[in-house]
Chain A
């Protein structure tokens, strides 16, 4: 059995373990399952990053041709990830802070943190700095849909809110209520 990497039609490079048939079965041996879970979470996060996706649902394992199909299914060896297995992988990712249930209080859908919240905070702050928007008030809408596309274009509002709250803790941003909702003002670090 030769296991090799594979490039999907969308250009994502699948690791060689993705062509190993037992990779798609939940392993009864806890030590082995830990390896499987680690490999899956790595794969899921890098694919989400590649496609700029933020949500993974247990149902995605059952949607042929869906946006997760390339990863959750391997037609070349006729294997797919079963929903129950995906649910346990998701729970594992949540326990490692690589994902969080979104909306909360359910376990069928998660928000994927392929950048950790503090990394998003840095990206946000860098963006505000490099586009010269320090000390101006920006609405959340202006950040999520800027005239010039940025790394933050189209990120979920939950992610943005977490990033902003991290920045407020280090006195680098201030939440301000504006007429049509919330706004934020970025503050330069040396208090100019």
Chain B
């Protein structure tokens, strides 16, 4: 008797063979689809960049247009400020490029928009992360050095932007023209290590301060400068302080 597909070992083999062929076929099809999508995306990005370079002036002039454009860019992963440099590559090599100033603008944007929650002090890593997010490119594209250099170019504006070393290799960017005293710098460094949380007890045991000194430093940061937030429901110390600039916000 003849059956479709047959009997015995040969049929088994044939079945396996056909399953293999189907699997191969499906992977080829999905690969082509992925490639197609990549191509489309690349084309779209190119078109968007071209659009950006032709409408550059309009984008700069009109804030609502600029905002909409930037949102569109960051959702497709394009750097909104990329494009032909007006100064050419010489200018870029000399450290005077538009790119640098543009990065400066983005730094100011991040500092100003986070100011109300962190009191005008932001941790360097966080700043780089937020600027990268704003630019919509991988975090490698903007480095700490870029940020430091851009902040230097902002100096003539007199806005008081400054990079502070708080010790332990940690840097912070201050965007309010106010002097940080030494004790506050220590508090910030401790807060960095503790994920944002500081308390009088912690400063006494960690830095060998007196309770009065710790209290004065924390009260100043809390009441005068608004650099930290009070927490009265802490389990250990009952009252503790949180430095928002040392916390990571999503």
Chain A residues in the interface with B (C-beta under 8 A)? 1-5, 16-17, 20-25, 27-29, 31-32, 35-36, 78-80
Max count, chain A CB within 10 A of own CB: residue among B116, B196, B233: B233
B230 within 8 A of A: yes
Between A and B, 5 residue pairs with Cβ closer than 8 Å are A5-B250, A16-B250, A24-B233, A32-B119, A80-B233
Contact of B233 among A2, A35, A36, A79 (CB under 8 A): A79
Contact of B242 among A5, A20, A80 (CB under 8 A): A20
Q: Which residues of A contact B241 (CB under 8 A)?
A: 22
| Count of chain A to chain B residue pairs whose CB atoms are closer than 8 Å in the complex | 62
Count of B residues near A, CB < 8 Å?
24
- A1 engages B223 (CB within 8 Å): no
- A29 engages B231 (CB within 8 Å): no
Closest beta carbon of chain A to B115's beta carbon, Å: 10
The distance in angstroms between the C-alpha atoms of A147 and B83, with both chains bound, is: 59
Q: Which residues of A contact B119 (CB under 8 A)?
A: 32
If over half of B's interface residues share one DSSP class (helix, strand or loop), that class is named, otherwise mixed; here it is mixed
Max count, chain B CB within 10 A of own CB: residue among A22, A24, A31, A32: A22
Chain B, residues 217-250, CB within 8 Å of chain A (1/0): the string is 0000011001001111111000001101011111
Closest beta carbon of chain A to B120's beta carbon, Å: 11
20 new A-B contacts, CB < 8 A, other than A22-B231, A25-B230, A32-B119, are A1-B197, A1-B242, A1-B246, A1-B247, A3-B247, A3-B248, A4-B250, A16-B249, A17-B117, A20-B247, A21-B234, A21-B242, A22-B229, A25-B229, A25-B231, A29-B226, A32-B229, A35-B116, A36-B229, A80-B233
Q: Which residues of B contact A3 (CB under 8 A)?
A: 247-250
Q: Which residues of B contact A1 (CB under 8 A)?
A: 195-197, 242, 246-248
The distance in angstroms between the C-alpha atoms of A84 and B223, with both chains bound, is: 20
